[in-house]
Amino acid sequence: MDIYGQIAGKLRDIAKKGKVSETLILPARVKSVSETTCTVCIDDLEITDVRLRAVINSEAEQLLIKPKVESYVLIADLSGGSFRDFAVISYSEVEEISLKIDSQTLVANKDGFVFNGGKNGGIAMVKELTEKINELVKWCSNHTHSNATFSGTISGNPATGTLTVPQPAQSPTKLEKSQYENISVKH
């Protein structure tokens, strides 16, 4: 008997112990996880190539949830009883979630959230950034040099004197966070 026959026989035995629905749903322990599949164990039975995405469609849009190794999942037999096609449908613990919608991506795990590959660095702390920029605006608005003395040479000739730098004719305007805040991403 081939491996799929063994799996089918073992799962039928397991299913006889409980109530069976049209789609067989079984609890399993996660043994290992790869990019889009995992290996799970039900008692001493090991099932490989269990899909992490039940629906296989384009790569342009996808939601991929990776379970933690040694956590528990529910798997569903998607093959109509032939026990050849399983997918994870529920998770007790999650290692990582990846979401892709067209060209937009989000990866969430214990290290944080990464949008679109993280190429723009961390998200600005808008409140603190606004305060710091407005401190600079205030300083620039009030900054002058009055009666500064200088000495040196101009075109080889000795020169001395005083210099007054007036306040700017037009002060910089206060910055408002609405001028640079992207309200479609919040944290």
List pLDDT tens digits, range 11-53: 777 777 655 456 789 999 999 999 999 999 999 999 999 999 9
Per the domain annotation, does 184 fall within a domain? no
**Claim to verify: residue 88 and residue 163 sit in the same structural domain:** no
Residue 6 Cα to chain centre, angstroms: 40
Q: Note whether residue 72 is domain-resident.
A: yes
Q: 146 and 92 share a domain?
A: no
Residue 175 and residue 89 share a domain: no
Between 70 and 101, the higher pLDDT residue = 70
Q: Which of 118, 144, 168 is the last residue of a domain?
A: 118
Residue ending a domain, choose from 118, 136, 161: 118
47 with 76, same domain? Answer: yes
Residue appearing with tokens 């067209």: 102
In this structure, is residue 87 part of a structural domain? yes
Is 56 inside a domain boundary? yes
98, 64 contact by CB (below 8 A): yes
153-171 pLDDT, tens digit each: 888 888 888 777 776 677 7
Phi/psi for 119 (5° steps) reads -65, -15
Q: Which one-letter amino acid corresponds to residue 103?
A: S
Give the mean pLDDT of 138-147.
Answer: 73
Angle at 35 between CA 112 and CA 91, to 5 degrees: 65
Domain that holds residue 159: 126-179
Same domain for 140 and 175, yes or no, is yes
Q: Tell me the pTM.
A: 0.63
What is the per-residue pLDDT across 80-109, written as a single tens digit (0 to 9) for each? 778 889 999 999 999 999 999 888 899 999
What 3-state DSSP class applies to 137? helix
In the chain, the number of structural domains is: 2
Judge if 130 and 113 occupy the same domain: no
> Is 172 a residue whose pLDDT tops 70?
yes
- Judge if 92 and 61 occupy the same domain: yes
- From first CA to last CA, the distance across the chain in angstroms is 55
Return d(Cα 157, Cα 37) in angstroms, integer.
Answer: 81
Residue 65 shares a structural domain with residue 138 = no
Shared-domain flag, residues 83 and 107:
yes
Same domain, 158 and 95: no
